[in-house]
């Protein structure tokens, strides 16, 4: 029997929390738990819910993110990549090189990343899990946004919305194919 | 018979377009049309669709916006205010004073505006029309975002999602009540 489609709204800032146990279990399922020495409580927070949704990926994770500097979310993505999930990342050229960006690290790990070549921003902040679940909102994947800003994230398992965003992702993925880069004109 | 609930996804950048006819008709319904001398085509674009959704407000418009500098959207909001729609605006303290911000102009027009008092950003970008329709996404209400950025906006007429955002709006509206301002401590 098909489970009820996910419909969730997450608001940030997230309460401070430790997600080490969550990441450790995802990286090595069944391994003996090693308690984290940090003083933060674990528990159910906006961040831990977001991470759980991402970790539910089995086949693909498509990310379209203006800023990606949160180390915990970068570890989440790397765990999925190591598990064999096909991860693709689209990001903004101006922001990917800033201090703290996790984009270089993801590329080093072998994850495909493409970026724009425009003066306008690639300002989306969405993720698509297994071409089935859309995660979208105002949240850039930065520690500042997660811990300090008022932000929203919708989690929607709805074929119509997912298709609209998946199509947008594929359009951008193709448009930002390095084979299409031009160093003379700005395509719009 | 109840119309089918609105479910729409808008992607930006929006094609350049003139929305003068749309605004003129909203400001003075039935007045003789005066053709706009600008060279832009009118027509169906992401911006014109967003404006139409906003102009559908009859009773209330609640705005929670990090940046609001787009003059066309400020005019849309003022038309609603003049029509007697109850408009409330929540925005970010750091951004409301920047060059081009429309917040001062809205206040001059008599629209209620409240802002945060935190170091973190009030980074939401959502609108709720008549406590019935949620408009949310990555789009700040700036001309740059509308004309140049890759952005998304979801339009959702769904009681569950609307309630979550309406509750968040009321929480923020109360928290940012100037009567509660403190000049000595940063509440979190």
Question: Does any domain span residue B59?
Answer: yes
Rounded Cα–Cα distance for residues A106 and A88 (Å): 10
Query: How many CB contacts within 8 angstroms connect chain A with chain B?
Result: 95
Question: Does any domain span residue B160?
Answer: yes
Q: Do B120 and A154 touch (CB under 8 A)?
A: no
Domain containing residue A99: CATH number = 3.30.870.10
Question: Does any domain span residue A139?
Answer: yes
Q: Do B154 and A154 touch (CB under 8 A)?
A: yes
Structural domain for B85, as ranges: 7-17+44-178
Specify which residues B9 forms β-bridges with.
Answer: B154
Q: How confident is the model at residue B99 (pLDDT cuts 50, 70, 90)?
A: confident
Catalytic positions of B are 123, 125, 130
Specify which residues B12 forms β-bridges with.
Answer: B151
Question: Does any domain span residue A118?
Answer: yes
Q: How confident is the model at residue A188 (pLDDT cuts 50, 70, 90)?
A: very low
Of A30, A27, A34, A31, the residue nearest A51 (C-alpha): A27
Question: Does any domain span residue A110?
Answer: yes
Q: List Cα–Cα distances, A37 to A20, A23, A40, A42, B168, in angstroms.
A: 10, 15, 9, 12, 34
Chain A's closest residue to B144, CA to CA, is: A120
Catalytic positions of A are 123, 125, 130
Question: Does any domain span residue A152?
Answer: yes
**In chain B, how many domains are there?**
1
The predicted-structure confidence for A118-176, as pLDDT tens digits, reads as follows: 789 999 999 999 999 999 999 999 999 999 999 999 999 999 999 999 999 999 999 99
Q: What pLDDT is attached to residue A186?
A: 53
Residue in A120, A144, A165 closest to B148 by CB: A120
Question: Does any domain span residue B28?
Answer: no
The predicted-structure confidence for A82-125, as pLDDT tens digits, reads as follows: 999 999 999 999 888 888 999 999 999 999 999 988 789 999 99
Neighboring chain B residues of A187 at a CB cutoff of 8 Å: none
Question: Does any domain span residue A23?
Answer: no
Residue in B118, B119, B123 closest to A138 by CB: B123
């Amino acid at each position: 029997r098909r489970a009820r489609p996910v419909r969730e709204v997450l608001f940030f800032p997230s309460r401070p929390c430790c997600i080490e146990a969550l990441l450790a279990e995802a990286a090595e399922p069944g391994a003996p738990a090693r308690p984290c020495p940090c003083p933060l409580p674990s528990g159910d927070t906006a961040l831990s819910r977001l991470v759980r949704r991402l970790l539910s990926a089995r086949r693909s994770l498509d990310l379209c993110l203006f800023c990606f500097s949160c180390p915990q979310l970068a570890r989440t993505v790397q765990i999925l990549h190591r598990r064999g999930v096909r991860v693709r990342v689209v990001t903004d050229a101006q922001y990917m090189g800033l201090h703290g960006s996790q984009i270089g690290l993801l590329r080093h790990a072998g994850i495909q990343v493409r970026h724009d070549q425009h003066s306008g921003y690639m300002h989306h902040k969405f993720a698509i899990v297994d071409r089935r679940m859309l995660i979208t909102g105002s949240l850039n994947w930065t520690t500042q946004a997660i811990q300090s800003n008022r932000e929203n994230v919708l989690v929607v398992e709805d074929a119509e919305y997912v298709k609209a965003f998946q199509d947008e992702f594929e359009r951008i993925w193709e448009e930002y194919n390095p084979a299409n880069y031009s160093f003379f004109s700005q395509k719009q």
